[in-house]
Structure 1
Amino acid sequence: MVTKTVKLTNEDGLHARAAAIFVRTANRYTSEITLEAHGDSVNGKSIIGIMSLGAFHGEEVSISANGVDEQEAIDNLVELVENNFISS
């Protein structure tokens, strides 16, 4: 399992658009993806789960991946968050 913590620097945090982009990216991987904020942990492949975290600009979230492509998943998801949910 690989876990990294990242700060939400985009203006709106994990709002609908950002959550949708995160989920679309997470679903490219076979690893289990988990997102944690405020002590709550949700499936990183669930848009409803991610939006229920209520994570806003300036807050930190932890992204965990467990599986065969866990490192690649974490690297790409952290990069996505750090780039304000603008995928390359």
Structure 2
Amino acid sequence: MLRKRIIVGLEHRLQARNATEFVQKASTFESDITLMKNGVSVTAKSMMGVMCIAIRTKEDITLVAEGIDEKLDVKNLGIFLSNKQ
């Protein structure tokens, strides 16, 4: 299992278009991927879950991945969330 703390750098936070793109990216990986914010965790492959935790720009969140491709998950999704693409 890998955990990575990320400061969200997305200009328009993680809602609507960004959330859709994030969930689509997360869904391409085999590992179980979770987003954690303020003690609440949701699956990163669920649009409803991602939207429910309302991730905003400059918030501190934790990305957790467990499975066969967890290193690649954390790297790619972390880059997306921190907007360093």
TM-score (norm: length of structure 1): 0.89
The residue matched to 1:62 in structure 2 has which SS?
strand
For residue 19 of structure 1, what is the aligned residue in structure 2? 19
Aligned pairs for 1:20-59 (under 5 A) are 20-59=20-59
The residue matched to 2:11 in structure 1 has which SS?
coil
User: Alignment length, in residue pairs?
Assistant: 85
Aligned equivalents of 1:16 and 1:38: distance in 2?
A: 21
Percent identity over paired residues: 34
Aligned equivalents of 2:34 and 2:65: distance in 1?
A: 6
Aligned equivalents of 2:34 and 2:67: distance in 1?
A: 12
**Which residue type is aligned with residue 10 of structure 2?**
N
Aligned equivalents of 2:37 and 2:12: distance in 1?
A: 15
For residue 5 of structure 2, what is the aligned residue in structure 1? 5
**Which residue type is aligned with residue 77 of structure 1?**
L
- Are the equivalent residues in 2 in contact too, given 1:38–1:53 (CA < 8 A)? no
The alpha-carbon deviation at position 26 of structure 1 amounts to 0.5
Range that drifts further, 4-13 or 27-36: 4-13
**Which residue type is aligned with residue 41 of structure 1?**
S
Q: Superposition RMSD on alpha carbons, in Å?
A: 1.3
The alpha-carbon deviation at position 72 of structure 1 amounts to 0.7
Segments ≥4 residues shifted beyond 6 Å: none
For residue 81 of structure 2, what is the aligned residue in structure 1? 81
